[in-house]
Amino acid sequence: MNKLRSLLFIQFMSGLFIGLILVLLGTFMTSALIEQQQIENTKLIQVLADSNVTGDPKVLSKQIKDAVELDLLQITNQEGNQLYNFEQNKSKQPVLVTLLRQADLYTKPRTVATNSGNLIIKFHSNYSAVLTPLYDVFLGLLFLPIIII
């Protein structure tokens, strides 16, 4: 009976270890995915900033917010005066955002300037649509090996 208990414990711990490895791999892959999305959003915002002929920060901010889902958007002029500021409520962020920040795998805000240099745009994209379902996948990856083994 003691051997059976020991064998079950070893299988449980093996399953938990395999699940943790899968979650760690998934975390790194998620970090790479959101980093790539942040790069693509940087290119898009650069195009929007360069095509803003009016130079009006309110018009530019509306164009950017319509094109990209954002956590943070700040538009300043050359002197550093803040012309527009938007910050998403942090309490609505998925749990994975906290975990990625703890592991220093979450993307940092990016800065883009217009061609003329009049406006400086600091932004950070919102990844709730990607990270919310991934949390459930990670929980499944953690506990599935335990159930199978």
Percent of the chain with pLDDT over 70: 99
- Tokens read off for 108: 């940092």
Most confident segment among 33-42, 50-59, 136-145: 33-42
Domains of the chain, by residue range, sit at 13-148
- What average pLDDT score do residues 108-130 get? 87
Give the residue-averaged pLDDT of 14-37.
87
Q: Give the DSSP per-residue string, 55-74.
A: --HHHHHHHHHHHS-EEEEE
Pick the residue with more confidence: 142 or 119?
A: 119
What are the CA-CA distances from residue 23 to residues 17, 104, 127 (Å)? 10, 16, 18
- Measured CA to CA, the distance from residue 91 to residue 119 in angstroms comes to 30
